Each structure stands twice: as C-alpha cells, then as structure tokens.
Amino acid sequence: MLKRTGKWLRRVLLVVFAAVVLVIPEAVVWVPPPVMLANLQVDARGMEAIATWQGEASEFLVLWDTDPSMAGAKSRTVTVNEITITGLEPDTVYYLAVEAVIDYKQSVDTSFRTAEIYYSMAAPPLELTPISATALRARWEDGGAETRIELQFAQGSFDGAETQTPSATAMDFTDLAKATEYRVRARYVDPVGYPLSEWKVVTGSTADYGRPLRVGSYNVRGVHTPKGNEKAWGVRVPYIAEMIRSLDIDVMGLQEAYQYKLKGRGKVTQCEDLINNIGSPYKTTISPRTKKGGNAILYNPERVTYIKGGFKRLLKARFVIWGIFEQKSTGKRFLFATAHLTTGHAAANNTQRNTQVKQIVDLLTGIAAADNLPTILVGDFNTYFGSRGGNTPYETVTKTYLDPLQPADGRGGVAAAAVKINTRYSTYNNFQRRARTTGTYMDYILVTPMRVSEWETVVNLDSKGNFIGTIPSDHNPIRATVWLP
C-alpha cells in the first residue's frame, strides 16, 4: 500500500511540476523600433552618397551593397543620424539599410532605399575617321581642368587593349589593315585615374577613306490650304521626313521650310516640325525658328562637321543660307549654300532672279576664296530651259558654277554626272498624280569643278508612272553623289 502510494505521489508531483513549467511565460526580449530613412542625397561628383534618417538610438548600424539581398554588405556604425559613404562606383545602384542599436540590441532593418550613383561628367564627344587607306584618327573634346582622357583602341574586343592617356585632343593610329573596321573608346578620369564618365565607344573603317559626299535639294512646300491632290501640312510632313531619311543625305538644302508658327502648335514652327519628324541624327545649321525666308541646311553630324555659317537677304526679301562643313571621312572642307529665288514668269521676275543669283555668286565666291573651298550651291531657282521670260539666271550662275546635268564645257568638266537617274522626270510635279516627263528642272545642284558620279530626280512611282500614296510636296527632291577635290 505504501509503495503504491509513493508511486502515486511521484506521478502527481511530476504532473504538477510539468504544469508549472508549462505556464511560466517566456522572457520578453525588447527590440528597438525600426529606423525611418528620411532623406538620401547623392553628391554631384557621383563618388559618394549622403544618407540621413529619423529615430533615436545610442548608435546606428548602416549597411550598403549593390545586391538587394545585402549578402555581402559593407557596414559602419555611427552615433549620429547621418553618414557619408565614399568610394562608390559610378553608374551603379546601391541599396542602403539602417538599424538602431540601443544597449547593444539592434532593431530590424529599415526598408531599403536605393542610391543611384551617376558619373559626374557626360562621356566625351568622340569620333574615329580615316586619314588614309591605312590610318585612322581619333578626336575628342578636352574635359577641362582636373580631367584627363583614357583611350583604348582595338579591332574587336577591348579585352587586353592598352590604355593610353594622351595629353592632346587627337591621336592617330597608323599601319592598319585596309578596308577594315576598328573601334576606339574613351572616358574622362580625374588626375589619379578615378573615372568621371562612362566609356564612349565609336567605330571607324579604313574603307571609308575617300568616301563620296551625298548632297541634295528639296522644296518641301509651305503650309497652304490644300487643293486637288495636295494634303494638309500635318498629313504631308511624315512623308516628307520619310523621303529625306530614305535618301541617306549628308547635306541638303531645304526651301519653303518656313519659320512661322504652326496654328494650334504653340511655338513650334513649320521648319521645327519637319526637323522633329526627320529625327536623329539630322540637324540644321541655324535655329529652325530664325527667319530666313524658309531656307534651311540639313546635315548629318555623323558624316560632316558644321564649322560656321550664316545667311544673307537678297532682292525682294529672298534669302541665301550658307555653311562651311568638314567631311569626316576625308577631313576636306567645303562650302554649301541653298536659296529660293523669286517666282513668276514675267520678264520682270526673270530680271529679279538674275540680280539674286549675282548677289549669291558674289557672296559665295568671297567666302570660298579665303580657303579655296570647293562649293556646292543648291535650291529652287524658279527658272528652266524654255521658261517664259528667259533663262537668264541660269546662264548667269553657270558662268561660275557647273551644272552636272550638262556636258563638260572645258572648265574642268569633271562635274558632268557619270550616271543620271530619272532625269526625264520634271523636278516640279504640282501634286499631279501622273509624273511629268518633260525633263525640265527648276531645282538645281551646281558645283565648282569636282567629280559627280551620280545625279537623281527622286520619284516614287508605280509601273504606270503615277505617284504612289501621298505626294509629299509639289517638288521632287534631287540628290547627287560628289567627290570633293
């Protein structure tokens, strides 16, 4: 009986003890409240980040990493609500978190904030152009004080490429293979070699040495109330832009790209609207808002460099606009100009046009003489063979400049076009669906002596000789392939 009683008591005590253990509450571990990041700033140099936050603690543990998992995070403990983190890599996104530390206890991480570290400078403008059949020249802009340039040159990958730090703004690479593409990349660095910009990579080919120049002229027709097959400007402008892009032009003269504002388009001018539709990389030499009689020079900055230019008012409020360019593939400079002469068939109109071309010739020959520049003059001259009132302006201007559509005339007749395309079509279509095959042209590309390998009146026709789709303008664009002497 006693043995049974003892066993019973032991069981009761065990159960009671177990019950007591089960009801004892766990110890409460106090954790500091999370910190709230209030502000995050990145300095303009892009090499450090400044973070501030709200909350009270004896100290704070700050963590940062390029991986949001913070698996390899760097950390630092501070006693104030601010930290400056240095030694960051440009063009990188960092993730930051802060923990409050009170009596050696840490809060949970704050929600992440990101810091996008940018380079302090834009990549250097850079170009790589041929200077011979076996040499290329890299050119860039000086980054200013406290900057240097780092340069690498390669045929393919830059892996293993030598890094050079030239002190000038140009460098030649010689003894290269003919007709071969090469690459160069450059970036700005500070005096100790820390990168201030990302790499700029460009390509160049020795095959481009002596590349021809593609030039053209296009009267795009101003904004008018549509008649017949003519569509409104807003309908035509995308087709005009598409036509120009398809020609792969280096430099083109535009007429009737006026500088007045389009109705309902705020400050946007007709010329500006056209340039916006054409898009990159094309630019104009003078602002599309500058009043210059609807003339503009459009150019491709990837192939030619615009040096300087201007415009002059002619008789009867007409203008000529000019620019000096340098062809990147050859380093040769040339003068390019465009004009739109007076309209009308009367003898008085013909006299006015003749005066205008004399003014143009005087201006351009004076500009070209300083550096003996080859010259290309384009435009809508509103005069043609057989026109009423005579063709005197043409006769006047061709005493100085050559017409590639005419045979050699003894003045270095290399200007006669070797290939003529669609020249049976008139350069004026008057929005008629059927293309005119009179072969007359009032739009011109005139040159000083130079090789002209191709001349084209550009038309988009079906098999029956009708214009396809929307007719962009009442003129057809013209283009030529020329070789600077």
What per-residue confidence (pLDDT) applies to 196?
Answer: 86
Does 21 score more than 60 pLDDT? no
Give pLDDT tens digits for 281-336.
Answer: 999 998 877 777 899 999 999 999 999 999 999 999 999 999 999 998 888 999 99
36-117: in CATH 2.40.50.140: no
Which homologous superfamily is 126-208 in? Immunoglobulins (2.60.40.10)
Give pLDDT tens digits for 124-181.
Answer: 988 888 888 899 999 898 888 889 999 999 999 999 999 999 998 999 999 999 989 9
Q: Would 36-117 and 126-208 be classified into the same CATH topology?
A: yes
Percent of the residues in the chain that have a pLDDT greater than 70, as a whole number: 85
d(CA 149, CA 151): 6
236: closest CA among 20, 466, 474? Answer: 474
Distance of CA 181 to the CA centre of its chain: 22
Mean pLDDT of 39-48: 54
* Domain 213-483: top CATH class: alpha beta
Q: How confident is the model at residue 71 (pLDDT cuts 50, 70, 90)?
A: confident
What per-residue confidence (pLDDT) applies to 30?
Answer: 61
Between residues 287 and 203, the one the model is more confident about: 203
Q: Contact 359/397 with Cβ under 8 angstroms? A: no
Q: Coil, strand or helix: which one is 392?
A: helix
Q: How confident is the model at residue 65 (pLDDT cuts 50, 70, 90)?
A: confident
- Report domain extents, the chain: 36-117, 126-208, 213-483
CB environment 161-185: b (16+ within 10 A), e (fewer) = beeeeeeeeebebeebeeeeebbbb
Does 84 score more than 90 pLDDT? no
Q: Coil, strand or helix: which one is 3?
A: helix
Quick one: 84 exposed, middle or buried, by C-beta within 10 A (0-12, 13-18, 19+)? exposed
Average model confidence (pLDDT) for the chain? 86
**Three-point CA angle 422, 425, 270, nearest 5°:** 100
Give pLDDT tens digits for 231-276.
Answer: 999 999 999 999 999 999 999 999 999 988 898 888 899 999 999 9
User: What single-letter amino acid sits at 439?
Assistant: G
